[in-house]
Structure 1
Amino acid sequence: MVNIPKTQTAATVPKLGGGVVFVHDYPVPQPGHNEVLAKVLYSGVCQSDLHTQAGIAASANGTPIRNVKLPHVGGHEGIGRIIALGPGVDEDIKVGTYVGIRFASRICRRCNFCLAGKEQHCIKSTNHLHHEDGSFQEYIALDAGYLTLLPDDIDPVVTGPVLCAGLTTYKAVKNCNVKAGDSVVVVGAGGGLGHLAVQYALAQGAIVYGVDGGVEKGEFLKSIGVTGYVDFTTTPNLTEKIHEITHGGADAVIVTAANPKAFAQAAEMLAVGGTLSCVGIPAERGFLETPISTIVIKGLHITGNLVGSLKECLEAVDLVRRGIVKPKVTVRPFEDLPKIYEELERGDVLGRIVLKIAKDE
């Protein structure tokens, strides 16, 4: 019988913009009907966590999201292990199973989006960023009807970032209809989202070019297989450079950077019939600055990516489990979260930072 404590350590945000406060007597939730209780082992740290706790995360209309549960407990790239079952849980869900703590927490299963396998857009959905406590705590209650059950042979250290960064970029590559031989440009390629976008595109047989800043990121990106690297800090005209190295424009441009400047002329990097895939969400309102005539005459496609479905998540995880995609993670202590937010703000992070939440695993 697992001994479940009454209280735990959680990284709370008492008020938006007020910074992180570690609380050591935060209540451990009791699993209700058709819920499981999981012990959180590891959790990736996403730019969305940073923006939400700061009160600057952008909504669909570009205004800041203010309807956030307080105290706020972020984290939506968590890997946990089921330690207890609430009443009514199906018999095939077992204690000891690895489980993912994703952005989406609950869905209605009845709306048109749920029925179409696009449940990330469910009109009644809740998530672990704005509505429910996420993975920046030691224990979490999860809806057993929408569980991300993971294989026993995953590596829990690297799998967390796949649940948001990996899923989102895998979906972005799918939305671009990337096929073998296509040229794909990833903007923000050295970051947590970007380096995964590079690898998911490579897995489809694409020729991938990375755009980011600095020599270190360039060396890293070459080590994971990019054909070319463009340093935006030393390149006067990015659009011109991309047209040059892709011989006329890219078949797809995936923008993972959360900076409006990264999006402004991104569509102009495309070849005829190309697709711009928007992934990173800037905190401030940003706009594409491409002339409408360019979009019409070149027959361009523009798509957005809000994570993906549970099925797509498991597909993204499988590519990591089989070693085709290899997340670059740096494991840090749970207590480092405030410091990590500062590093994310400065753009100092290469790959993804993963917090070690459980002290004894």
Structure 2
Amino acid sequence: MATTSQAHLPASMKAQFLDDFNTPYVLRSVPLPALSSPYDILIKVDAASYCHTDAVLAAGLMQPNPLSLPHVGCHEFAGTIVALPVDSLSNFTVGDRVGVPGRSFHPCGSCFECATGPTAENPDADPPGYSVYCQKSLNNGISSDGGFREYAVVDSRQIAPIPDKLTAVDSSVLMCAGVTIYNALKRCALKPGQRVGIVGCGGGLGHLGLQFASKMGFKVLGVDNADAPLNLARDLATGAVIIDARAQNADEVAIQLGKEDGKQERADMGLDSVIILPESQKAFEYGVNLLRNHGRCVIVSFPEKGFHIFSRDIIFRDISVVGSLVGSNKTLREMLQFAAEKGVRAVLKTFPLSKLNDLVAEYHKGEGGKFVIDMVLPD
């Protein structure tokens, strides 16, 4: 496909490849990717963030596993547009800074998900012709190559302009972690002043969630069970109450909250909604036990063996359980503006592209926060 001038671009680029599961990434040079659709855009990647899903994919544990190897990971990144097709259907121009989420690359445009568009029940859905839930689409960094490379082709329908107040590094972590936790908070369906809990509050999504939730006007409870993530959550100074699950059981915490709210009955004590981030049955049960009757549990994680849901909670306590994947493009743009205006920023560490394996090693220490490839850093 013909493009706008690429005379200023190199013929090749560096990219980090996963050649086999449970092996280190390998850095090598390859040709720049080609544009294949009027919706395509070529960007120079400025920052690429590492997500838990990258670790799952690299271990060969993604079910069903869509990977064909070798593979370039990263489904949350940011960059600058350097080329467009001559018949471009996008509203972007060369030089625009954009954030790129993983879903959805080249959706089919005709399945029921793509055709539905916004509804009264889901006003934030993508417009007809595009859906992040399209089962026939590819996904950057998952079923197609992602951001751990110097240049990438992205779908203009999925990206969002980066606000002036946000750097590329700040924005990259918001493309999955940020929009996912922001959408989960919206799915809690709460009003300012109500109580929300975030189980796994010191991780990448969790510590962003503490900030978003507090700035949305909710009463926030964070839960974790390891020293480093707990310390990170406490250091954020969001006003959230941070609980060590090893030291207090959920029933004690719910009763304490109920007394603060002037409640008299245990069934009316606790959280209005809770978000579950860890892939742990114990974390799931802890979160559900924090809920007051008629509360809502929002699940973000998807462990290989799933979660066991106790029917007594659903039937006798009227607890509702819903899932939350990512947000629509409308939600993505709303989240970016909110983060820029309210000062929501990730606690992060940066590495050059050549040090991706060092980044992975740091991630597996489990100390919380986010880890980002910053293309500006020298090797």
**Paired residue for 2:134?**
122
1:9 aligns to 2:30 (yes or no): no
For 2:52 and 2:211, locate their aligned partners in 1 and report how far apart those are by CA, in whole Å: 20
Equivalences for residues 276-295 of structure 1 within 5 A: 276-282=297-303, 284-288=304-308, 290-295=309-314
**Paired residue for 2:36?**
32
For 2:276 and 2:158, locate their aligned partners in 1 and report how far apart those are by CA, in whole Å: 29
Equivalences for residues 1-361 of structure 1 within 5 A: 3-23=8-28, 25-34=29-38, 35-57=40-62, 64-90=63-89, 92-104=91-103, 105-114=105-114, 115-116=116-117, 117=125, 119-222=131-234, 223-235=236-248, 237=249, 239-247=250-258, 248-282=269-303, 284-288=304-308, 290-348=309-367, 350-358=368-376
**Paired residue for 2:265?**
none
Amino acid in the other structure paired with 1:132:
S
Root mean square deviation, CA, Å: 2.1
Amino acid in the other structure paired with 2:41:
V
Amino acid in the other structure paired with 1:287:
F
- Deviates most, 326-335 or 305-314: 326-335
Amino acid in the other structure paired with 1:267:
V
- Deviates most, 131-140 or 9-18: 9-18
8 Å Cα contact 2:75-2:176 kept in structure 1:
yes
For 2:257 and 2:24, locate their aligned partners in 1 and report how far apart those are by CA, in whole Å: 44
For 2:228 and 2:159, locate their aligned partners in 1 and report how far apart those are by CA, in whole Å: 38
Closer, same or farther: CA 340–357 of 1 in aligned 2, 3 Å: same
Question: Secondary structure at 1:141's aligned position in 2?
Answer: strand
Question: Secondary structure at 1:224's aligned position in 2?
Answer: coil
8 Å Cα contact 1:15-1:70 kept in structure 2:
yes
8 Å Cα contact 2:352-2:377 kept in structure 1:
no
**Paired residue for 1:61?**
none
Question: Secondary structure at 1:316's aligned position in 2?
Answer: helix
**Post-superposition shift, 1:356?**
0.8
8 Å Cα contact 2:90-2:156 kept in structure 1:
no
Moved beyond 6 Å, runs of 4+: none
Question: Secondary structure at 1:9's aligned position in 2?
Answer: strand
Specify every segment of 5 or more residues in structure 1 that has no aligned partner in the other structure, as ranges: 58-63
- Deviates most, 173-182 or 209-218: 209-218
Query: When the two structures are superposed, what TM-score results if normalisation uses the length of structure 2?
Result: 0.85
Amino acid in the other structure paired with 2:73:
G
Question: Secondary structure at 2:13's aligned position in 1?
Answer: strand
* 1:214-254 deviation digits (Å, cap 9, x = unpaired): 4554343233314321112334x3x2233133212211111
Question: Secondary structure at 1:120's aligned position in 2?
Answer: coil
**Post-superposition shift, 1:145?**
4.2
Question: Secondary structure at 1:134's aligned position in 2?
Answer: coil
Question: Secondary structure at 1:243's aligned position in 2?
Answer: helix
**Post-superposition shift, 1:334?**
2.1
8 Å Cα contact 2:101-2:140 kept in structure 1:
yes
- Deviates most, 172-181 or 261-270: 261-270
Closer, same or farther: CA 150–260 of 1 in aligned 2, 3 Å: same
8 Å Cα contact 1:264-1:287 kept in structure 2:
no
- Kindly tell me the number of residue pairs found equivalent between the two proteins: 348
Amino acid in the other structure paired with 2:156:
A
* 1:262-281 deviation digits (Å, cap 9, x = unpaired): 22442222111111111123
Identity %: 29
Closer, same or farther: CA 30–291 of 1 in aligned 2, 3 Å: closer
**Post-superposition shift, 1:109?**
3.0
Question: Secondary structure at 1:18's aligned position in 2?
Answer: coil
8 Å Cα contact 1:138-1:358 kept in structure 2:
no
For 2:282 and 2:354, locate their aligned partners in 1 and report how far apart those are by CA, in whole Å: 33
- Deviates most, 256-265 or 72-81: 256-265
For 2:78 and 2:307, locate their aligned partners in 1 and report how far apart those are by CA, in whole Å: 35
Amino acid in the other structure paired with 2:33:
P
**Post-superposition shift, 1:333?**
2.1
Question: Secondary structure at 2:92's aligned position in 1?
Answer: coil
8 Å Cα contact 2:214-2:240 kept in structure 1:
no
For 2:355 and 2:252, locate their aligned partners in 1 and report how far apart those are by CA, in whole Å: 39
Amino acid in the other structure paired with 2:87:
G
Query: When the two structures are superposed, what TM-score results if normalisation uses the length of structure 1?
Result: 0.89
**Post-superposition shift, 1:162?**
0.8
